[in-house]
Structure 1
């Protein structure tokens, strides 16, 4: 259940060169992008496409993009949670799950045939207004993908059984528990209840209520499908390596025989206005207070959308936003702020969120927040603020243009416009409206919509309210197994006439209408030729000071990505300075010798550049994504951030407060608690990886960081003799090397010694046990288990990761199938070979419903033991893994960001340039015995240490029969104390 944002695509051959001049002088005063240039940039954004409609009403949109031999398939149904009647909340989302369970002519999990053909970016989502399914597949597998999509559109109900309903009901309820279990996880229910009156289409959440999900019967969910999922209620987008002629033929063949269904008319919904301001306080297991301010505003088609979007961005969306400057940088009473407009079909939400610094006076900050908002509504943004936000937004959207599908590719833009505006070009109207916003129009929109009464929610630390559980999921174990099974009657078949349909809506009483392109559904279509991956050519150069440059050219969009990576990372920290590396990296863009933190943020926004600095376990990096015409200035700013950070004391103190709040937040989240608890148990505190995998460090160390320590860390680690530069994008090696030489070629290492990391410290022998972290009132338990393997990341781990694809690395893995699909105790489980440079851990991640914690941990251990013993890799599992591993490669490297990551991994693990080109042949050579052997000699479940984060009063008794020592500890809440500075 995720909201998709509109993505945009650039017409082939777009040239935006010359819009902004480049040069070193731009650092102090970056050139503003003129209004005319923004208009020029926006007008060039285009997704060429053709449309046609089948006789059954299926609307089809085709976009040709031949940069890679892949096609995005995206099906959007005009049905969402706003269309659910009372008593059936959550049905749209529940059916989204059911439609992955197999259809009449492919009655197996949808993920099985999709992994076989190498599908990437595959998922389904439901939101208030729509349900969609999408995957990106190799061109040679498009027939099979369309067969499967059409089979679940027109040939589904014969495969929907009571057993499948009960399984997916359990999975959905665990998805709900997983979200509800997070800090602030119950906020949405309060928001919707306050903002909308009873009976309003947006009054209830998309996930629905436990009670309604419990009451969903086979008959009601099947009728729900008949009423809403006909082809005349859907939009199909094909984007990628396909022609219009081929699309016409294929779509008619696979979808043409599906009869029309009743015409769905999306629920109308007014924009409600509260009678008076609502102030509400709720309590939750949170480290500090959060404040919300919310208004319901018009939906996506209203002319106020763009002005309100800009108004929200200036208020709390930019790094230099009003709220950031006032509350985070100025008063330093908040550690993070945001403001945005969540856009839907009929209504939208204008939301402001402020996370207070622990110990801040919440009443005072609340009054200050209201004053800032009132003043902003009265006076509006400045022209410079509007321009910075518009430039940043357009640049951000252009950076996503390479992707044809997924959560935000070109297929999304076309489908969203067609579904909501009856115009696949609607994205162009949105961009034009964004570029046309002025300070006056933004102020007018706010004064019209935000002077209405506000919903003001405050969430304070404390005991959360009682939780609504599913029937039978209390303290006693409940199997949730199906009570009965029944084959659907003939009149329940999806092709049968629907008695509720009108003459104009229903298919003829004879059922299926033969077309010129009918299809034999007795077997899946064969997979055509799928060429092996041709990874982009990799080139190398070296700057005059010795920094190596690795380059790959990608020209689909006018974007260049540059990453300067340093041999540092969390592993460079000592135990007493845990978190120093990531803290220093976070400070890099908070001011330089010539620009303060606000000026750095504003410069980045004017350029439309994305510059991020951060650390992982093995490397610290600064990464730039720049529009091609702004590349010179963007590199100037990047180099200034890397080489000349100011490390001003006021910024250190401010980020210290933010970091302590971050640690406190981690210690309130199940996943954060587990990721902080497990690594020191696995590695010991003396080994470089024996640090919290979040990288944030310990609160004691963070409180003690001095400016001298931070400067020393920069001198020791962020220097040319630890650096490598990686570049991918719309440039050439001949063009980029002189630009890099001008910014980094004369950079000299400081006189202090280069930092060193030692991995010679012995890793302690494993002491298998369960660490039970008590987190009261948790409807779910998070199980995180692991062991350190006897291999390094620089070893050849392809066979091991392929074996793990069967055990825990894919949706169809043994672990996920057992706990999600068979027992439906979890929303999702995975095991991962966490490939770091040195000693690699194997980690199992399993959020499970609280009343089955012990059973779930026992099942995980059993599955692992059997897989590594008598039930190794089967021939079918090998075939699926090999086919998927080979065929998904072209889709995996569709974007320049993915290629950049691959170059960095090659360098980190010491791989040759042709590594990815060799993968297909290496997959083909795999055998079951080969994968079994590497898994058995590498993974040993008897050595695992398990961390369980949950309600000890409900969980401990379930764990005792497992026969492992149990140590119960309290949730680490001490980090929520106010910062020392």
Structure 2
């Protein structure tokens, strides 16, 4: 259940949309192969309304046996008032607590057991939505669940559940408050809007208002806003239209029409004089935020503003990135985005300073670029690139059926704001219609200094306005009124029985086509011609497992430099060329491998492979680029100490593994990055990047013949004798249980995680381990999460998992918990880690854990990007080509005895490091009282303190 903490969206809003229609898509750059003609996909839909007012939106897609349900309620902070902030988001959480016929906390259990993916709910300023993607034979289950909590939530909504979810939501807010710069984001909204405006407060609300929520407030909120006439439901995927209509009528038709919801007509006052503020936070680097009010979503000027924001700071080809990060090297990061909303949108730029750089110099540089756009407008090349990025994002978004910007989500979004689910072609058209003049006008009209708010976030004390919990007897005497009479309730008794799944649709997980070039390069291909999109990556076994303590971070440093200049293109040319075809080139190393990748429209396949082959085969590692990226990585390592979970990973892995490669984060450490030379990087590339030990993996709208031709054209001349001659040393002897405290004064939460030795990815009992971990902490309904979050309210979310590398890897479990419950949470965490060994999973737990893994497998291949992730595993770990095709049968064959054995052999509570990153003064005394083991103290780099 997610809410934007303080609502700034860090990338342009167009990236969340998707669309169709005929559009003039920009051609490739002069130094790239020309784009082929592109036929944009069509997205057919049907819209109708039930007698009770519920709007139905449907889209059939039979490429996978999946169906997405996305239910939008037209309520958010837009409908709240001062003193009642956060109600919409709090209620989003209450909707998962269990409705009358489904049962308490059973909603997600049903979905996870059915193999659902993308199970979530989100609240934004203008709406709240709930969504899940299910195997298509479980469509009726999804409709039963969503209809029951729409019509029958109040019967089970009591003060106990409210108390628990108040705690959970406030933990979610604390988690946000612990994020660097989040308090500055909130301050910017306070300055953009007056205090009585719906957008003034964060979506999640204030601690005081959340804690003040009472049971009848919440019940009234449901009866007023969570009604069929204030909602739309979009269903996309593999279904029979006639059967779907009958099911919708059955499940949603009986729910009564609710009261009319009056439209919100608040006018957002303009800013006529610049507003400034300084916020202190426990951050390593200062950050500048400049924000402006811009036209409401889908109104004239909105698309031009979005394009302008992208050109200003939307990526590596943007003006601010080029000037501040690349050329002047005075900024660590630049991120500009647009939060497009009903009552007025918000454009913002966040610029994080390099050490020793003043925010004044960053601000001066920003206003210089804004002034240039106001005077001259963008270049034609900038405009073309921005429009191509928009079209690409809209089409690639259509790969997903459900939430977070997929097909169903898009239908709902256009319907909510425009009453036109078919607005997709018009949305593309408004971006294509933008001109140099219209973008220039937007810059002049909305981006003036006197129309801005400026927030400087500097190092200092983190000031959080927390409040005490309500007394335990809060609402104890409140009488709850039943929403329906007995006769209506009797008529709905049929809902008590969960619908059985339909016939299982046969689905065969894909087996890639493969071939090998003469130079040894292996090529893997998964064809999918449903949309004109593709993803591609070159994967090399060049991960940080090859790093030594003296050169920690060498693999990651090398990979990062691949996209920073070749013999044919400079770093800036690479960024421009990639954006010209609507993509971003990325290159990164993890523990086991390194890869360079991109996602684009298939009419630019040749241009994409031209770029990909260039960065892999011809990197220059220019000295000036080496030094620039060195500085960036040193600062990034410094910034990790701002983030509690990053500190857990760095300190925990180092404490567990010492100088073993698995104890070193792929980004390296300060000493290692400082010691690496340009020759080290070049030598590493020569030793670890070559066709004999790499693979080209592709998925999407590509034919085998086309791939054979293009792989020969762009990769056959690649030479090199790189081989996997990496010997990873044996893991150290596991420690006895001990506690490690990393002091983070003023932290609103403790990052509490137990870390121990785990398993390699190729472990023979992989299926049994995954099922066991699902019971322990891998699912929302797992033991750890139900204990720490749902029973005790200690955290926003808890879990466990295995990071499986080539020869091993760490096991982890835990959560970010409220500071004052650090010790009780540690006690409960250790209880569950021991209980999984002494209290074998029940039959119900095993069924849920197994079914979730088994039935969710098709969702792992919903997008081309996800598909190449699977192909990458086949290559890196030497798995057979039919590995995924045979995986369902392996899950099916796992016995209860094998799951119990996995708990005994792979979870070791007496050999863990219990990491606690938080305010030492507040958490140390109670942790000592637990007597779990010795306590040691380390700094944020992992050094042992005395």
CA contact (8 A) 1:280 1:456 kept: yes
Shift in Å, 1:709: 1.4
What are the Cα deviations for residues 196-219 of structure 1, in whole angstroms up to 9, with x where unaligned? 112112111111111111111111
The residue that corresponds to 1:30 in the other structure is 32
Alignment counterpart, residue 79 of structure 2, candidates 77, 80, 83: 83
The answer to whether residue 630 in structure 2 is matched with residue 656 in structure 1 is: yes
The answer to whether residue 842 in structure 2 is matched with residue 874 in structure 1 is: yes
The answer to whether residue 747 in structure 2 is matched with residue 747 in structure 1 is: no
Q: Write the distance in 1 (CA, Å) between the matches of 2:76 and 2:377.
A: 35
Alignment counterpart, residue 952 of structure 1, candidates 891, 908, 920: 920
Pairing of 1:490-529 with structure 2 (within 5 A)? 491-493=481-483, 495=484, 520-529=494-503
Pairing of 1:276-675 with structure 2 (within 5 A)? 276-451=273-448, 452-465=450-463, 467-472=464-469, 489=480, 491-493=481-483, 495=484, 520-531=494-505, 533-675=507-649
What are the Cα deviations for residues 523-557 of structure 1, in whole angstroms up to 9, with x where unaligned? 11111122354112322101011111122211111
CA contact (8 A) 2:351 2:362 kept: no
The answer to whether residue 207 in structure 2 is matched with residue 236 in structure 1 is: no
Q: Write the distance in 2 (CA, Å) between the matches of 1:675 and 1:174.
A: 21
The answer to whether residue 144 in structure 2 is matched with residue 147 in structure 1 is: yes
The residue that corresponds to 1:51 in the other structure is 47
Q: Write the distance in 2 (CA, Å) between the matches of 1:312 and 1:412.
A: 24
The answer to whether residue 692 in structure 2 is matched with residue 724 in structure 1 is: no
Shift in Å, 1:683: 1.6
The residue that corresponds to 1:64 in the other structure is 60
The residue that corresponds to 2:254 in the other structure is 257
**Residue 289 of structure 2 aligns to a residue in which SS?**
strand
What are the Cα deviations for residues 391-420 of structure 1, in whole angstroms up to 9, with x where unaligned? 122113322221111311011111001111
1:172–1:710 CA distance, 2 compared to 1 (3 A):
same
**Residue 661 of structure 2 aligns to a residue in which SS?**
coil
The residue that corresponds to 2:854 in the other structure is 886
The residue that corresponds to 1:501 in the other structure is none
CA contact (8 A) 1:62 1:247 kept: no
Q: Write the distance in 2 (CA, Å) between the matches of 1:846 and 1:604.
A: 38
Shift in Å, 1:773: 0.4
Structure 2: give runs of 5+ residues left out of the alignment: none
Q: Write the distance in 2 (CA, Å) between the matches of 1:793 and 1:899.
A: 19
1:790–1:180 CA distance, 2 compared to 1 (3 A):
closer
Pairing of 1:264-283 with structure 2 (within 5 A)? 264-283=261-280
What are the Cα deviations for residues 588-633 of structure 1, in whole angstroms up to 9, with x where unaligned? 1111112111111111111223321111110001113232221112
Alignment counterpart, residue 749 of structure 2, candidates 780, 802, 821: 780
Shift in Å, 1:20: 5.0
Moved more, 628-637 or 912-921: 912-921
The residue that corresponds to 1:173 in the other structure is 170
Q: Write the distance in 1 (CA, Å) between the matches of 2:478 and 2:879.
A: 54
TM-score scaled by structure 2?
0.95
Alignment counterpart, residue 688 of structure 1, candidates 656, 661, 677: 661
1:565–1:790 CA distance, 2 compared to 1 (3 A):
closer
Q: Write the distance in 1 (CA, Å) between the matches of 2:814 and 2:202.
A: 27
Pairing of 1:806-825 with structure 2 (within 5 A)? 806-825=775-794
Moved more, 816-825 or 893-902: 893-902
The residue that corresponds to 1:966 in the other structure is 935
Q: Write the distance in 2 (CA, Å) between the matches of 1:136 and 1:487.
A: 38
Shift in Å, 1:909: 3.0
The residue that corresponds to 1:736 in the other structure is 707
Structure 1: give runs of 5+ residues left out of the alignment: 474-479, 497-508, 975-981
1:923–1:251 CA distance, 2 compared to 1 (3 A):
same
**Residue 403 of structure 1 aligns to a residue in which SS?**
coil
Q: Write the distance in 2 (CA, Å) between the matches of 1:800 and 1:481.
A: 40
CA contact (8 A) 1:161 1:487 kept: no
1:412–1:367 CA distance, 2 compared to 1 (3 A):
same
The residue that corresponds to 2:806 in the other structure is 837
Q: Write the distance in 2 (CA, Å) between the matches of 1:791 and 1:322.
A: 44
Alignment counterpart, residue 804 of structure 1, candidates 769, 773, 792: 773
**Residue 872 of structure 1 aligns to a residue in which SS?**
coil
Question: What number of residue pairs does the alignment pair up?
Answer: 931
What are the Cα deviations for residues 57-112 of structure 1, in whole angstroms up to 9, with x where unaligned? 00001111111111110100000012112221111011100000110001132111
The answer to whether residue 907 in structure 2 is matched with residue 907 in structure 1 is: no
Q: Write the distance in 2 (CA, Å) between the matches of 1:272 and 1:17.
A: 37
The residue that corresponds to 1:977 in the other structure is none
Shift in Å, 1:9: 5.3
Alignment counterpart, residue 668 of structure 2, candidates 666, 687, 697: 697
Moved more, 198-207 or 359-368: 359-368
TM-score scaled by structure 1?
0.91
The residue that corresponds to 2:908 in the other structure is 940
The residue that corresponds to 1:505 in the other structure is none
What are the Cα deviations for residues 169-228 of structure 1, in whole angstroms up to 9, with x where unaligned? 110010001110111121232112111112112111111111111111111110111111
**Residue 796 of structure 2 aligns to a residue in which SS?**
coil
**Residue 828 of structure 1 aligns to a residue in which SS?**
strand
1:156–1:487 CA distance, 2 compared to 1 (3 A):
farther
The answer to whether residue 158 in structure 2 is matched with residue 156 in structure 1 is: no
Q: Write the distance in 2 (CA, Å) between the matches of 1:375 and 1:9.
A: 31
RMSD across aligned C-alpha pairs, in angstroms? 2.4
**Residue 675 of structure 1 aligns to a residue in which SS?**
helix
Q: Write the distance in 2 (CA, Å) between the matches of 1:881 and 1:908.
A: 27
Moved over 6 A (4+): 14-19, 31-34, 509-514
CA contact (8 A) 1:78 1:234 kept: yes
1:894–1:481 CA distance, 2 compared to 1 (3 A):
farther
The residue that corresponds to 1:504 in the other structure is none
1:84–1:484 CA distance, 2 compared to 1 (3 A):
closer
**Residue 772 of structure 2 aligns to a residue in which SS?**
helix
Shift in Å, 1:708: 1.2
Q: Write the distance in 1 (CA, Å) between the matches of 2:734 and 2:109.
A: 39
The residue that corresponds to 1:713 in the other structure is 684
The residue that corresponds to 1:245 in the other structure is 242
Shift in Å, 1:907: 2.7
Shift in Å, 1:831: 0.5
Shift in Å, 1:247: 2.4
1:481–1:822 CA distance, 2 compared to 1 (3 A):
farther
Q: Write the distance in 2 (CA, Å) between the matches of 1:455 and 1:19.
A: 35
Alignment counterpart, residue 927 of structure 1, candidates 889, 895, 906: 895
Pairing of 1:759-774 with structure 2 (within 5 A)? 759-774=728-743
CA contact (8 A) 1:154 1:258 kept: yes
What are the Cα deviations for residues 775-801 of structure 1, in whole angstroms up to 9, with x where unaligned? 000110001221113656443411011
